[in-house]
Structure 1
């Protein structure tokens, strides 16, 4: 793909006003955008893992989720860390985002405190619901995967392998991931549990 804003068919397209908020003028091809975003994501992950506050409760907040997204994408996009204002091909209505995220984080804190599910399942249910809410203009899957990794690490387990490859490009690995998410939409979390540790 050389068109800068050409997304895979199963990805979230950006609104034209969101495209205008690309910060780096040197980014002219899709591979440039992917490289810039990946470098920024690594920086965001390092920031998250170096935080002094390692309590699970500090991870499961709107402020943390927004700041993590900002740090993952702020070198590339001006809208990093802000909730989307436009409709998407998946996700809830934009006005519901500030209501649904706190509810999700309350649920996850309850699941952890009461050991409602096994640790992997808790982290992957967090991931699935974050993707379902789709709070940001873009980067929701990558953000949700890092949130799940951070939670599972705080629960004393290894981070997920997510199929062991890159999920940004069209291919069988991305298709397996999307299929697992769609199974979760049908209340079957087992494929996502299997994929995340494959």
Structure 2
């Protein structure tokens, strides 16, 4: 029999593993929809927090951990902690810290040297943060919020991300995942189009 909390919603949402379920803070959650709802509340709270205060430095690894913790602290015991297990996506856990540091250094260089347009810098930052996959869960949402914060820092409006909630509408989520996969192959154009659609 299928377990509604363990099953993936689509090919881009990974199913929960048994040890992940044990790390859930709310014990009443029994379905993926309930998990999505409680996570959405935390993400919305973190969004208000980060955009209603003096912003932290989004290119600081400690701030990226704090942002994730703010997003998921009511849901996951490991919120804000780097992933320690291998996945079918993301870098080897031992490389996460190094890759995050390399990413933040690269982005600062791109900004300082106007290597790309501000939107392209932010899209590349987002893509690489998702590619690193530093956390057990919530990587896409974390990377989108971090990217929006960087966009604002660079004097640009927040991205529209296909003008939809990417957890629910299958068509929008599919376009987003396809754009990320194109960026994996060094074609950033679909992601640049998607983030402002």
Please give the range of the TM-score, normalised by the shorter of the 2 chains. over 0.9
How many residues matched? 195
Unaligned residue ranges in structure 2 (runs of 5+): none
Question: Which residue of structure 2 lines up, in the alignment, with residue 153 of structure 1?
Answer: 152
- How many Å separate the matches in 2 of 1:45 and 1:191? 25
For the Cα contact (< 8 Å) 1:127–1:147, is it kept in 2? yes
Which residue of the other structure, out of 14, 17, 26, is the alignment partner of 2:16? 14
**2:191 corresponding residue in structure 1:** 192
Higher relative contact order, chain-length normalized (CA < 8 Å, sep 6+): 1
Q: Does the CA contact (< 8 Å) of 2:5 and 2:16 recur in 1?
A: no
Give runs of ≥4 in structure 1 deviating > 6 Å.
none
Structure 1 position 4, deviation (Å) = 1.6
- Counterparts of 1:1-198 in structure 2, within 5 Å, are 3-7=4-8, 8-53=10-55, 58-169=57-168, 171-198=170-197
Q: TM (normalized to structure 1)? A: 0.94
Query: Once the two structures are superposed, what CA deviation does each residue of 1:85-121 show, in whole Å capped at 9, x if it has no partner?
Result: 1111111101100111011000001111111100000
Normalising by structure 2, we get a TM-score of 0.94
Following TM superposition, by how much is the alpha carbon of 1:171 offset from its aligned partner in structure 2, in angstroms?
Answer: 1.4
Superposed CA RMSD in Å reads 1.5
Question: 2:35 is paired with a residue of what secondary structure?
Answer: helix
